[in-house]
Amino acid sequence: MTSISLMRTFGKWCTWCIIGFLIQAIPWQGMAVPSKSGKPPRPKATAGVGSREVTTTSPTASPVAAVTTPTESRSVSTLSKIAEELARSDTKTTKPAAALVVTVPIGGELAERAGGIPFFGPRRRSLKDTLELCVRLRDDAAVSTVVLELSALTVGTATVQELRQAVADLRSAGKDVVAVMNDDSQSAYLLASACNEIVMPPSNALLLVGAKVESYFFKKLLEKIGARAEVIHIGQYKAYGEMFTEDDFTTPARENLRAVVDDAYLQLVEAVAAGRRLTSATVEALVDRGPLTAAEALRAGLVDRLAYREEILDEYRLTGRKVVSSEDYVSDKRSKSDEANLFALFSALSKGTAPARETRFPAVAVVYAVGPIVPGSSDRLDLSDAEEIAADDYLKILDEIEKDNGIKGVILRVNSPGGSAFASDVLFRRIVELGKKKPVIASMGDVAASGGYYLAMAANTIIANPMTITGSIGVVGGKIDLGGTYKKLGISKTTIARGRFATLFSETGGFSSEERAVVEKLMRQTYDEFVAKAAAQRKMTTAALEQLAQGRVYTGVQAQEVHLVDAVGGFATAVKEMKRLLGLQPDDKISLVAYPKELTLLDILQKAMGTNVQLARVKESAQLWPTDAAIGSLGVLGLSRSLEWALSLAQVVAAEHVAFMMPWDLRLN
């Protein structure tokens, strides 16, 4: 092919791209019909957590006289026929809409919120998305039944409690909620027990076994490679370093975790007993029987019937009800075609920044503080999907919220094990200042401990789920001495230094007594500030708060008993409390605005070409730390998670030397 032919072909391709872009950009399906005033009707707002908790109906449009030309006569004739049909239909009795049965799949790991641009696949379902969907289903009079399809659910117990509250709200609105157990896990059953009916396939089983916390210890592994951990902690329960320095729990740590497991077990038993109308003693006896077959679970009253998903849905169809998936329920044809269309790329680029808020209801910011707390700015391309709390980025967000007069309050959604002590303190100070101008409520997810609690305690009010892991008021720091490892590998290292403490944090050599004393002094100061600020925020004496600190962890219920949190409840409880603080009634509507804002493709490309994306740092981290695939190749899920947790925390401590971190990856299951 000649160069001229290539140019012509390229020109034709560009022309079609431009035509496609224009077709996508013009809102053909969304063009408004003028009202009597000549203004377009107000768009219908969607209800839900994170966008709007309101549904408004567009005013009825009225016909407007049109001026026609001879070339439009055929179109006018057609429109006249349509108008006649509409007029005739207005005289007929309106047939009520058929009751809808909506199927909602829930499985995998639900992130607090999902972000990104879904060009190359469906949007990742998040807890936020699921709660929004439940609000829409609750308020939709056409929906009679919600079928939860539970499969491979791997979420924290506090997340399950959030979902249970959503189920309770659906039932309070008169909806039938049916759980189909395609998962034998305890987490799935705990959610199912909140439903009207539980259906289990005959071939399934039920693993209702109790509560546990597991931890792995790497002391001997380090010895085998010639490494040794130098860890200092302030607080007898602040046991982060024990995974590197011990072969088992120390006595204080064991006592603390036993209390947490006991409370988790009690909450599990009480939830199942209430949902299935059984006594707690009966549920405990069933737990002690071990895993149950589907038939045994049915006889014990833990499930209502044995059937497959298809059988249940066919029964609904036979009664004349329409069964739709949640995806079909929330999506229209145009949004689906956009995702699959190649020209969606150009459409996304043209959208620029996120649309401005358009609501007549009071706006409340929901700030998602998810992941470890780190200093500086995030090196991730899309902050809305980031699993870290980068201090500089969140300071900008808090500044923006403070300056926005339309934002009347803030809900800080915390799901973090902690991180950098410095970054935690900087964010704490900023949240406190914001709280003097606008009410701030902290809503805790699965974990809000150590640095996560540091952020939450800055709020005016703290609300935790019953099984949130929180507290852990303490400080940890140190390093790993790799001198022995280098020797085994045949690596020699020479250091030339000047200064008494120049090699304080060198990775070869442990702390001398003098160096240890210096580090402990710094950590003691940080710990004392943590305790003093917590005491002031919780309106306690320093001595009283000290008794609750020492690195001890609590469930949400336990934390409320000792006044580290104000109330027990989920995100919906935080919304109700915010309405009260704003002087609104429980049924009043508010607009929830999520932060960090989702970036458009154009924003992401601009950020990728900017200097704030530290690609070198990402590359270096990838070389130093095992990839997810490498960790997963261990084959043992618990061990791989624990090792991943240990390495991520070690990375934070190595960078900061003094940190507010959870002692273990506490997974109650």
Whether the CA torsion 512, 513, 515, 520 is positive or negative: it is positive
In one-letter notation, the amino acid at residue 603 is D
- Is residue 225 within 8 A of residue 181, CB to CB? The reply is no
DSSP labels, 608-620 = HTSSS--HHHHHH
Q: How far is CA 264 from CA 158, 278, 449, 467, 555, in A?
A: 10, 18, 17, 7, 8
The confidence band for 17, taking pLDDT boundaries of 50, 70 and 90, is low
CB burial class (10 A; 0-12, 13-18, 19+) of residue 97? exposed
What integer pLDDT is reported at residue 663 of this predicted model? 55
pTM of the full structure: 0.75
CATH topology agreement for domains 100-209+290-330 and 360-493+502-661: yes
Strand partners, 151: 107
Confidence check: pLDDT of 186 > 50:
yes
The confidence band for 503, taking pLDDT boundaries of 50, 70 and 90, is confident
Residue with the bigger pLDDT between 415 and 213: it is 415
- Is residue 415 within 8 A of residue 369, CB to CB? The reply is yes
Residue with the bigger pLDDT between 612 and 573: it is 573
Terminal alpha carbon distance of the chain: 65
DSSP, collapsed to helix, strand or coil, labels residue 444 as strand
Confidence check: pLDDT of 377 > 60:
yes
Residue 475: phi, psi to the nearest 5? -135, 140
The confidence band for 214, taking pLDDT boundaries of 50, 70 and 90, is confident
Residue 248: how many other CB atoms lie within 10 Å? 10
Confidence check: pLDDT of 51 > 50:
no
Residue 144: DSSP 8-state: E
Token digits of residue 568:
């027990």
Residue that has been written with the tokens 């109906």 in this structure:
57
Residue 540: how many other CB atoms lie within 10 Å? 18
Select the CATH number that applies to the domain covering 360-493+502-661 from these four: 2.40.50.100, 3.90.1300.10, 1.10.599.10, 3.90.226.10.
3.90.226.10
What integer pLDDT is reported at residue 49 of this predicted model? 36
pLDDT tens per residue across span 272-303: 999 999 999 999 999 999 999 999 999 999 99
Helix %, strand %, coil % of the chain (to 5): 45, 15, 40
The Cα–Cα gap between 116 and 60 comes to 36
CATH topology for 100-209+290-330? Answer: 2-enoyl-CoA Hydratase; Chain A, domain 1 (3.90.226)
- Is residue 240 within 8 A of residue 218, CB to CB? The reply is no
Domain boundaries along the sequence of the chain: 100-209+290-330, 360-493+502-661
Confidence check: pLDDT of 632 > 90:
no
Secondary structure tally for the chain: helices H, strands E: 26, 22
Token digits of residue 582:
């704003």
DSSP, collapsed to helix, strand or coil, labels residue 446 as strand
Confidence check: pLDDT of 1 > 50:
no
- Is residue 106 within 8 A of residue 148, CB to CB? The reply is yes
What integer pLDDT is reported at residue 640 of this predicted model? 53
The Cα–Cα gap between 249 and 251 comes to 6
What integer pLDDT is reported at residue 12 of this predicted model? 53
Q: Could you tell me which of 47, 70, 198 has the C-alpha nearest to residue 134?
A: 47
pLDDT tens per residue across span 616-629: 333 333 333 333 33
Q: Could you tell me which of 461, 455, 450 has the C-alpha nearest to residue 539?
A: 461
